[in-house]
Structure 1
Amino acid sequence: MSILHLLPVIGEVLGEDARSHVLARSGVTQLPEAEVFCDEAPAAAIHQALRQAFPDMAEQITRHAGGRTGDWILATRMPPVASMTLSRMPAWLAAPVLCGLIEKHAWTFAGSGEFRVANRSRPVFELENNPVVRGEIATHPLCSWHAAVFERLFRSLIDPDMACVETHCSACGDRACRFEIT
């Protein structure tokens, strides 16, 4: 999982002292090298520490970081020919193809969780046992980072008006975190 963009956004929005506080609270003492996906445990710990330390700002920060992560995927992980091809296809055809690409690379954001595409034509993703919220209890969905990554990919490659909403969250007692693209 990537924390490449989350930590800088915490620093930019809340300041370096807050960033250090989140890191200390998470127990993460060594950060992965830039551009490297890290083990899910430190990534999940940082997400959870952010929500605990700054509950009123966590959603805004993780959405911003998720958007940056989506941009990074498009710039460094998505072959240019794939981006160009998807952006030229009609949305009804491109969306299922993008779903397949996301599913193929789900390990990068799902970790040990179980990811599946529940619907390809009207994209719906489900992530069971999501490490980012594992063990948490909430009254509202918490996975704004995931939603923002998906939203950025679909807006950039399929339709700039598309949005992603997490409609169910395992932290709320649901079977899986569910993300719907509209």
Structure 2
Amino acid sequence: MTATITARIGPNAIIQMGEALSARKEQARAARIYGRAGLLPYLAHPPEAMVDEGEVARLFKAVSDEADPQAARALFADAGRRTGRYILANRIPAFARALLPRLPRALAMRILLKAISKHAWTFAGTGHVTYRAGSPASITISENPIATSLGCIWHTAVFETIFSALIRGPVTVRETGCRCGADHHCTFEIS
């Protein structure tokens, strides 16, 4: 008998979506979204460990299926920024938070891209992550399991929050390709 192995994603993809809804005082909307995703218990008891990528995919689909696409996009962006801030405060060592902004932009970018790709499973699950340093730099997630019909707004916000805090000078992250569109991968350009 073989056991089924599922890919795991960091719980903040779920936790911070709940926080974004709570900050908007949208408990009824939160219950509707989490309920459609089959994750209602997480509103009262957020996950404390890595979660199955399928749970995140269901939650993100439930958000993207909301009647108002603009409100859904805003929710994804808020949850992504909250996730980025959590990562900065809790997952990136203090010495790196202090050092990277002092380094030349190109060097800091290469270091950060390498670190992100090393921990890619935490935000891409079974997706395959590659990156390209340069100007602009890019991150690509092939077969992104949590891409949505609205695009990858959550990923864009996470990356922009992290890169803006750790790279010298202004940073913009924009999604230039999405698995849910004509591409089979999601590409994020960082300039």
Q: What's the TM-score once normalised by structure 2's chain length? A: 0.85
Mind listing any 5+ residue stretches in structure 1 that lack a counterpart? none
Pair 1:155-2:169 in alignment: no
Instruction: Show CA shifts across 1:89-117 (max 9, x none).
Output: 01111001000010011011001111111
Specify the alignment match of 1:12 in structure 2: 23
RMSD: 1.7
Cα drift, residue 78 of structure 1? 0.5
SS, match of residue 148 in structure 1 = helix
Match of 2:72 among 58, 81, 103: 58
The one-character-per-residue Cα deviations of 1:130-155 (angstroms, maximum 9, x if unpaired) are 1112xx6x4xx510100111101110
Deviation at 1:128, TM superposition (A): 1.1
Normalised TM-score (structure 1): 0.89
Larger displacement relative to structure 2 (120-129 or 90-99): 120-129
Alignment of 1:24-103 (within 5 A): 24-31=35-42, 33-54=46-67, 55-103=69-117
Pair 20,84 (structure 1): closer, same or farther in 2 beyond 3 Å? same
SS of the aligned residue for 1:124 comes to: strand
- Cross-structure match for 1:146: 155
Match of 1:65, SS? helix
Alpha-carbon contact 1:115-1:127 (below 8 Å) kept: yes
Q: Tell me, in whole angstroms, the C-alpha distance in 2 between the residues paired with 1:126 and 1:48.
A: 21
What count of residue pairs does the alignment treat as equivalent? 176
- Structure 1 Cα separation of the partners of residues 66 and 145 of structure 2: 18
How far 1:10 moved relative to its partner?
2.1
Aligned residue for 2:83, secondary structure, equals: helix
